[in-house]
Amino acid sequence: MTNAQRTCWLLTLFLLSACGLAYQILLIDLIRIIQWSHFSYMIISLALLGFGASGTYLSLAKRKIKTQASSHFFMNAILFSITMVGCFLISQAIPFNALNLIWNINQSFYLVLSYITLSIPFFFLANTIGISFFQFHDRINTVYAIDLMGAALGCITAVFALYYLLPLTLLIAICGVTLITTFIISVSLTKTIRSKIISVLVIMLLTILFFTPLYQLKPFAFKPLSITLNTPKTKIIHQQSNPLGLVSVVRSPQIPFHYAPGLSLYNHTNIAPQLGVFTNYDNQQVITHFNGDFKLIQYLDYMTNALAYHLLDQPHVLIINGGTGNTALLALYHHAKHIDQTELNPIYMHLIQNTFAHYSGYLYSHHYPIKLFNTQARVYLMQSKQKYNLIELPLVDSSASQSSSTYGIENSYLYTVESLQLMLKHLESDGMISITQWLKLPPRNSLKLIVTAMKSLNTQQPEQHLALIRGWKTFTLLIKKTPFTIQNIAQINAFCQARGFDLAYYPGMQKHEANQFNILNHAQFYHSITQLLKNPQHFIKNYPFNITPTTDNRPFFFDFFKWGALSETWPLRLHAHGLVDWGYLLNIFTLAQAMILSIILIVLPIIILKKQAFRQQQTLVTTLVFLCIGFAYLLTEINYIQRFTLFFSNPVLAVAIITAIFLGSSGVGSLLTRPLVLKTQHASRYFSSVIVLIILINIIYCLCLSSFLQYILSLNAGLRWLCSLAPIVPLAFLMGIPFPYCLNKLSKNNHGNIAIAWAANGCASVIASIGSGIIALSFGLNAVLLLAAGLYLLAYLIFSITAE
């Protein structure tokens, strides 16, 4: 192979890896639109399944492949680009219905089918990388580094591209780039073949572009926007996308929107005209038509979240995640002196400031005392010195979360002890936090909020600072900095009486005051809250749902699952669906599915067809070492993605950026493995130091990463980003060394071990990518890092005792 050919090959590999990761990031975004967010972690797992299966395939077919490496490389690159669009379109045709999973066992088959279908492109991509390992077996670390750095570039590119292109357009663009990339490698082929190939590629490219108008996103039929679009004359009138989601503005002239969740039955005024705003076909909000006449928005005062305004006079308000401004309208209705509003997604602000400014009555203009901050709430709170009378967390979570209990694994850093403590610091002496959420029966989120608030209040008598009211669909919790006064309590009573809302708890509340309007079998809320306040530890331990306080180490507010209660809830699942926390069980199911598929597609073929090899100690060692390394790497990476969701406030951004940093740094680590470790006289000693450093860093991070992340939130944007890299880059750099080092040593005399290592690593990664979240749910984020450190140690011990 000439130098030019080699360069072409490696350049193609770099670009293919970039396209591969860009595709993975895009797929996460697409799955969030078509299905729900909790499937986004499945994408990482299925991508790795493709990689693992490729390792198995290569180990079985290596002789054939080695003889015609160039053409195999080329073919796999082509297949990668075709299947990228093809498999996505096929997966859309699979009638998987997550809501029906409990009723219909066939749905699990469809889930498996979707999982396998979407992993196919990654199989072909991984083949190109694996073939490159064969082709450049003396420079494994270089190939590995090029792959990782290409992948890092792909992550970053995908995130930026999502600001400018709609997700489906980006899919076609990535496919086009992949096809064009394959032109480069055709240079290394003979002239005749090359010209034929180029014409085929051109035809394929044109075909894909020609059919572009036919490609359509087919979101799940039961997502709120899909259902809304079934009503006559309802149309999407504006659509905009960024990595935070696909925002659709919907007009429904014949059957207008009437969005006022939990509105009091005592309200007799009409709802103002509205436009629907959906994010990822879910998370409904509205843009309210406002012409300056506050009488037309009087109904807003008949929702539970209006309570705080009846306790405060012309308050200075902070609205967190204010979205399209309905909460700001309520504050204006109550003559708020000034309103500060944070909103992470600039699209919502843009809609009200520009596209629908006239419709919304120029709500976000200088006419009204509203100041907008396009930032994450905790970043704003860390940086601002402003004090407020009211901090409001409106109802913004998906309505699906109240009904399907499928949001268990999602982390939310807004409802943690640390977050509430931060909010309390920003309150004036008479100030309060108002949190409104969907009402869940039996009580769960309300109790978890109370427990979290109690811990954040840090006072001897937290019960004096809490009040909770409920309607038939929503509840509002007030957390006051100072104890509620008699006057406050009278105001709460009057508010509830006038609107038919129930008092669930306030300091000094009597039993007979509970359960007056929205009657439950017994005063469940009052009983639970009073018992909880009396003896929190005992109550939390015995309650059938997980209501332990949410912290930054366990930021899973929507996880209510308890194994202990499963024996009682499972038999009732068919007529009391809401009792079972499906989000958690779905993850267990996905993990089981990943394990079974990775064993069938990765492990079994090698065991069956390479029985002889497994009798060799070196093959067994290779398998064990790379299983440990694969597990440890992915456990760590996913852990950082979860931690940095605090920083980025969005899983897609967190996945893209953290993956990019991890892969880029590991790529450099891998590249430098040869000069820094392998070629030195004391290679094994250096390698030991690398492992010790990885373990030490993980332990140190367990102790202080949360505080460090909290601290950097207070820095300005540039410094914040720079500091966010600081903890990851050195760790990821070091984590890039064990794989090429061990692979180099273990495959010195047996190239077959390359594929086995590739397969074992893939298999472990598939399982770890889902397992990481589940371990974090049960034991906290720190436990995952400690486990990863332990696995690096185990890999090192096996390797050094047997191989070195």
Q: Which residues bind other proteins (CB under 8 A)?
A: 97, 99-100, 102-104, 221-223, 226-227, 230-232, 254-256, 258-263, 265-268, 399-400, 403-404, 441-442, 472-473, 500, 517-522, 524, 527-528, 531, 539, 542-544, 565, 568-569, 572, 574-579
Query: Least distance in Å: CB of 35 to other proteins?
Result: 14
145 vs 263, which CB is nearer to other proteins? 263
Query: Least distance in Å: CB of 279 to other proteins?
Result: 16
For the chain, the residue count is: 804
Parallel, antiparallel, or unpaired: how do β-strands 316-320 and 388-393 relate? parallel
37 vs 666, which CB is nearer to other proteins? 37
- As a whole number of Å, the CA-based R_g of the chain is 28
5 vs 97, which CB is nearer to other proteins? 97
133 vs 501, which CB is nearer to other proteins? 501
From the list 242, 308, 336, the residue with the least C-alpha distance to 649 is 242
17 vs 569, which CB is nearer to other proteins? 569
132 vs 528, which CB is nearer to other proteins? 528
Query: Least distance in Å: CB of 744 to other proteins?
Result: 42
The dihedrals phi and psi of 428, each to the nearest 5 degrees, come to: -65, 170
Cα 766 to Cα 57, 596, 602, 623, 770: the distances in Å are 16, 11, 10, 15, 7
220 vs 686, which CB is nearer to other proteins? 220
Query: Least distance in Å: CB of 714 to other proteins?
Result: 38
Q: At what angle do helices 167-185 and 191-210 cross, to 10 degrees?
A: 170
8 Å CB contact between 654 and 644: yes
111 vs 148, which CB is nearer to other proteins? 111
153 vs 303, which CB is nearer to other proteins? 303
Contacts of 484 (CB under 8 A, 6+ apart): 464, 465, 467, 478, 492, 506, 507
Dist. CA 512–CA 495, nearest whole Å? 18
Query: Least distance in Å: CB of 577 to other proteins?
Result: 3
Tokens at 731, concatenated: 């760790």
Query: Least distance in Å: CB of 231 to other proteins?
Result: 5
Dist. CA 546–CA 442, nearest whole Å? 12
68 vs 270, which CB is nearer to other proteins? 270
Tokens at 523, concatenated: 């005063």
Query: Least distance in Å: CB of 88 to other proteins?
Result: 22
Residue labelled with tokens 């659509």:
239
8 Å CB contact between 588 and 594: no
Q: What single string gives the DSSP state of each residue in 124-181? A: HHHHHHHHHHHHTGGGHHHHHHHHHHHHHHHHHHHHHHHHHS-HHHHHHHHHHHHHHH
Query: Least distance in Å: CB of 220 to other proteins?
Result: 9
Query: Least distance in Å: CB of 300 to other proteins?
Result: 12
**Terminus-to-terminus CA distance in the chain, angstroms?**
33
Q: Three-class SS string for 408-429?
A: CCCCCCCCCHHHHHHHHHCEEE
From the list 751, 764, 763, 746, the residue with the least C-alpha distance to 605 is 763
Query: Least distance in Å: CB of 379 to other proteins?
Result: 31
Contacts of 179 (CB under 8 A, 6+ apart): 78, 81, 201, 204, 205, 208
Cis peptide before 738 (omega within 30 of 0): no
24 vs 398, which CB is nearer to other proteins? 398
8 Å CB contact between 245 and 279: yes
Could you give the dihedral angle defined by the CA atoms of residues 607, 611, 613 and 619, in that order, rounded to the nearest 10 degrees?
40
8 Å CB contact between 12 and 182: yes
261 vs 346, which CB is nearer to other proteins? 261
Query: Least distance in Å: CB of 718 to other proteins?
Result: 42
Query: Least distance in Å: CB of 608 to other proteins?
Result: 15
Query: Least distance in Å: CB of 597 to other proteins?
Result: 21
439 vs 788, which CB is nearer to other proteins? 439
Dist. CA 439–CA 421, nearest whole Å? 24
